[in-house]
Chains A and B, each alone.
Chain A
Amino acid sequence: MADVRKNPAASAISAQNLVRRFGNFTAVNDVSFRVEKGEIFGFLGPNGSGKTTVIKMLTGLLPLSGGSAFVEGLDVRTDSEAVREHIGYMSQNFSLYYDLTVAENLQFYGRIYSLEPARLKRRIDEIVQLNGLAPYLNRLAAQLSGGWKQRLALGCALLHEPTLLFLDEPTAGIDPVARRQLWDLLFELSGHGITFFVTTHYMDEAERCSHVAYIYFGKLIADGTPHSLRELPDVQPQGTLRVEITTPEVTRALRFARHLPGIRSATIFGQSIHALIEDRFNLDDLRNQLLKNGIAVTEIRPLAPSLEDVFVELTYKHQALLEAARA
C-alpha cells in the first residue's frame, strides 16, 4: 500500500487509518489510501462493506471516529466547509428535485454554490452542451429516463467546477448504453484534470479505472492499479496457473473439474471454465482427463486473472481469515 504520510497536499485524497464506528459496529476499520490528482479511483466492495461510509466521511457528512483524511489538501475534520467548495457528489439515487425542470435543478444547485449570475449562466451552458441536455431543459426531472437523470445529476455536481467528484454507484440501474456514455463522459472530464472517486459493482467499470481499491467488511484488502492487483501473490499463488477451458458442456465439466486433484478453484464464464490449477499439472493431461470422462474440450489456454478473479480470491482469503479469527 502507498505510504500515505508523505505530503498529503499533493494528493486529491489522503486517508490515514480511517475508523468509523456505529455503536459497537465498526463500519470502517483502519483504512488508509491515497488518490492522486487526475486519477479515476474505483472503490469496490460488497454491499454493506463500508464504501458509502467512507464517501460520507471524506465529504464531511459523517465525522471520523478515528484517523485523519485530507481532501484536496484540506483536513476534513476541521475544514469540511472549505472541502465542500472543491468537491462534487452524486449519490446512488441521483438527488434531483423531480418536480423541478432540468433547468431549474441546474439553477438551484448553481445558486447553492453562490455562483454569480454570469458564471452560472456560462456553466449551465457548458454543462448542457457537455451532457447533451439541451432538448430536455424544460422537462420535469421526474420525466427523464434513468440515464438522463444520471446525466443531470452529474451536471448538477459539476456546476461549481469541482476538482474532485465522488460518484456513489453512478451506474446502478442504468442501461448498458447509458453506462458506456457515462464512462466516456468521465474519461473526457478526467482529461480536463478532474479526479474521480467512483464506487461500483461492475467489474468492467473497475477495469477502466486507473486505480482501484477493494474494501471488505470495513477493511481495505487491495489497493493499486488493476494491473498490479492481478500480480498479487494471493491472487496468483506461487506454483499455480490460471486457465480457460472452453467446452460445450460447461456444467458437467465444472462438476468434474472441481473433483480433480490439482485444481484449486473453478468457475463458469459463459461457454468456458476459469480454473486455478497447480502448474505441475500439464495442460495436455488435463485435456486427456476431461476427454476420458466424455467431456468434449474445444480449447484450453492460460489466462491472466480478471479483476473479478482478483476480488473473489481476496474475498475468499479474508473470509477464511475472519472465520479463523472468530473461531
Chain B
Amino acid sequence: MHNIFRGFGAVFYKEALHVRRDAGTLFFSLTMPLLQMFLLGFGVDTNIRQINTVVYNADGRRESRELIDRLKNSDTFHILGYVENDHDLNDLIIAGRAHVGIKVPVDYSDRLLHNMSAQVLVLIDGSDSSVAGQAINVSTAIGLDESLRRVVQDRAEFAVEMRPKLLFNPDSRSPNFFLPGLTAIMLLNVTTFLTAFSIVREKERGTLEQLFVTPVRPFGLLLGKLLPYLGIGFFELCLILIFMRFLFRVPIHGSLLLLAILALPYLFAALSLGILISSKANSQAEAMQLAFLPILPSVFFSGYIFPRETMPALFKPISYLIPATYFINITRGIILRGAGIKHLWTDGLALFAIGTILLIIAARRFQNKVIMA
C-alpha cells in the first residue's frame, strides 16, 4: 500500500513494449549517432596540413627556390601555383582558392649574399583562425631555422633546446580527440529525446492523466519510464565504445568499469533533462524543439570542440552548468589519459548534482502543470 514505487513493474514492462513496437525509432536513434561518429571519425582532421598556397617568386634564383622547397616540405603548405605579380597573388586569396600567399622579393638572394637581412612577405587569410595560426607558426619557424642555419654555420648545438613530447595522443590523431567527446554529445541526444518523447506522447494521448487517476505512485511511474531509456543509453555507450576501439583504433587507457559507472550520473542528468523538457512541452513537435536547445551549448561550451580555457570570462560559468562538460572530461580522462576515480570523482558528483536538481525542478513542474492540463 505504501510502496512508493508502486506501478513500476507495470510501467517498465509497458514501456519496453512501446520500444519494441516502435523498433524503427529505436534503430534510428541508435544508428544516427554511429553515422555521426563515422562522419567525424573519418571525415574530420584537426591537424592542419597542406594549406593551399600561392607563390610569387620575384627573385627566382637558387636561394629563393630552396626557401620555397623548405616550405613545401613542411607538409603545412601545398603550393597551388606560381603567379607573376602582386595583383594575382592578392586575387587568389580573395577568391578563397589560396589561404596563404608568399612573395619572395626580387633582391632576396642578393641581400643574403651580402649578409643583409632579407624579408619575405607571407600573406595569410585570417578568416579561419586555426589555419592562420598554423601558417604563422610554421612560416616563422622556417624563417628562424633558415636564419640559424646561416649564422651557426658548423651546426653547433643550440644553447636552449625545447623538446616537446605529446602525451596520450602521440600521433595527434583526430579520432582520439573527437570521439571520446562525441560520446557525450551522442548519449545526450539519445536519452534526452527518447525520454522527452515517451512522456509527451502520453500527455498527448491523455494516458498520463489516466495514470494519475490510478494508484500508481509518481516514483514508480517516472522510474518505470526512465529505466528502459537508461538501458538504451547504456547500450548505445557500449556500441560507441566498440566502434571507437575497433574501427577507429582509439586506445582505451583507463578502466572501462569506471567509465560505465561514471556514465550513470551522466545518463541520469540527461534523462532528467528529458523529463524537464516533457514537463514543459505539450506536443511532440514542441518537445523536439526544446530537446534541440541543449545540444548547441553542449557542443560549443563543453570543451568538445573549442577549449574551455579560451572562453570569455562571461561564458565560462555556462560551461559548468552543462552536463556534457563533465562527461567529456570523464571520457577523455579515462579513454586517453588513463585517469582514475581519484581524478574524476568530482565530475561524477557534479553530474549527479545537476541530475538531481533537474529532476526536482521537473517533478515540481509536473505536479503543478500536467495535472492542470
Contacts and interface: CB of A to CB of B under 8 A. Distances in A.
Interface of A: 22, 56, 59-62, 81, 84-85, 87, 89, 91-100, 104, 108-109, 111-114
B207 interface: yes
Interface string B17-36: 11001100000000000000
Interface string B177-217: 00000000000000000000000000001110111111110
A59 B215 contact: no
A16 to B, nearest CB: 22
Given A95-B207, A97-B18, A100-B21, A87 B371 contact: no
B372 interface: yes
13 contacts: A61-B209, A61-B212, A61-B371, A62-B371, A95-B210, A97-B205, A100-B14, A111-B7, A112-B7, A112-B10, A112-B214, A112-B215, A114-B6
A114 B371 contact: no
Contact of B215 (A62, A94, A114): A114
Contacts of A59: 213
Contacts of A89: 210, 213
A108 B6 contact: no
Interface residues of B, number: 24
Contact of A93 (B9, B22, B206): B206
The B contact surface, by secondary structure, is helix
Across the A-B interface, give the 7 residue pairs with the lowest CB-CB distance, nearest first: A95-B210, A111-B10, A89-B213, A95-B206, A95-B207, A99-B21, A93-B206
A112 B212 CA distance: 11
Given A97-B18, A99-B21, A100-B21, A113 B215 contact: yes
B22 A99 contact: yes
B13 interface: yes
Contacts of A91: 206, 209-210
A100 B17 contact: yes
Given A91-B206, A91-B210, A97-B14, 9 more contacts: A84-B213, A84-B214, A95-B207, A95-B209, A99-B22, A100-B18, A111-B7, A111-B10, A113-B215
A109 B205 contact: no
Contacts of A87: 213
Contacts of A108: 10, 13-14
Interface string B210-239: 111111100000000000000000000000
A112 B205 CA distance: 18
A182 B165 CA distance: 81
Contacts of A61: 209, 212-213, 371
B64 to A, nearest CB: 74
Contact of A99 (B18, B209, B213): B18
A21 B11 CA distance: 33
A113 B205 CA distance: 20
Nearest to B371: A61
Contacts of A81: 215
Nearest to B18: A99
Contacts of A56: 371
B214 A111 contact: no
A225 B357 CA distance: 53
A106 B207 CA distance: 13
A93 B203 CA distance: 12
